[in-house]
Amino acid sequence: MENKVEKKVLIASLVGSSIEWFDYFLYGTVASLVLNQAFFPSDDSAISTMLAYATFALSFFIRPLGGIIFSHIGDRIGRKKTLVLTLSFMGGATVLMGVLPTYESIGLAASILLLVLRLLQGIGLGGEWGGALLLAVEYAPKNKRGLFGSIPQMGVTIGMLLGTLSLSIMTLLAEEAFMTWGWRVPFILSALLVIFGLWIRKGIDETPSFKKSQEKGEIAKVPFLETMRKHWKEVLIAVGAKVVETAPFYIFGTFIVSYATVQLGFSKTITLNAVTIATVVTTLLIPIMGNLSDKIGRKKLYVGGTILMILYAFPYFWMLNQGTGFFLILATVLGLGVIWAPITAVLGTMFSEIFKTNVRYTGISLGYQIGAAVAGGTAPLVATALLKQFNNSYVPVALYIILASVISLIAVSAVRDRNNQDLDAEDAA
């Protein structure tokens, strides 16, 4: 019976997380292909792309607010109810994007409405990640917590995979058809995925850790204030640790679409295919890395992946600039598929292990979402600006990846491994 419940929890965590990220990444991929022209037209294509990426970045800055709102509910009322709210929020905004009139139809109002819907997506995702992660981690046996915590992380890459795959199919349409209506199809069809996700989550019970906290009467009155008063150091560690997981991810997965097609002359299809192949590889590697962290520890895997990221920054761009499809795919697979996998696989579990149960939702959400806001959403925008400033030289962008990695190494230096220890042991102590 216990195994059956655990499987159901993992499916609910993975499905919901995948749908949320699918909705979120659709926007990121479409930003440089369609939205720059349809909602932010300009005589300078670089400015249009930067404006589209700016709206991509803005949603990251609203994510911490979503994290505060929904993690308050999650730490006060429960993880399960919160996850139904976040999925509904995200799904509604995404479907509306699919039917939004363009700049040509209603002028500036189109740009504003798109921005509002993107901000609603950010609020929804701000609360989703922490809930999906805790659903898995707080149900996990102590010797499998790394594996369980890696499963919702697969939702990030599965969501991205669904997004790039659906758009790869749509780019097979004639250019005019794709620009007019083809890009809208995945947004509108996401409504079916949301309904499925809500149905899956309906049958899940509250997590054991939250129930224990309720029984002991340890529910924080205002989780945000409790977190900032007693756990601000842990929040800073989580913010810093998130940097290397998020900045290179958006370079390898989002910025590459614009860089490879506009600067290097690759077709949209082969660029999206490179990202798709890399995403498949990393999706398969994430649970393997999560399982490995239960044996050797989260910190060792995380630090190893981060050091590899530093060493890979320049070779990545060198390979891209060889100008062949083979090197484009190889560079993307090594970066996004292999080197990034151990970092993201252990990140959520590592965060969960440094916060007490009564503020865990709030603590991990703040760390994750502030880190994403500072280093993730800005990454494509910063990289595009650096290219423009330095005459299309990739050197500053590579240095940017190295800087992100160094920041994270400093942040996790204070973390100690807690694999094979009881998650709530610190609470009892």
Q: What is the pLDDT of residue 427?
A: 46
Q: What is the pLDDT of residue 363?
A: 93
Here the contacts of 404-408 (C-beta below 8 Å, separation 24 or greater) are 404/243, 404/244, 404/247, 404/248, 404/309, 404/375, 405/244, 405/248, 405/306, 405/307, 405/309, 405/310, 405/313, 406/310, 407/240, 407/243, 407/244, 408/240, 408/241, 408/242, 408/243, 408/244, 408/245, 408/306
Express the helix, strand and coil content of the chain in percent, nearest 5 each.
Answer: 85, 0, 15
Q: Tell me the pLDDT tens digit for each residue of 225-270.
A: 999 999 999 999 999 999 999 999 989 988 888 889 888 889 888 9
Residues in the chain: 429
Q: What is the pLDDT of residue 364?
A: 94
Q: What is the pLDDT of residue 429?
A: 35
Low-confidence residues of the chain: pLDDT under 70? 1-2, 425-429
CA distance 291 to 286: 9
171: its two tokens: 């780019």
Separation of first and last alpha carbons in the chain: 30
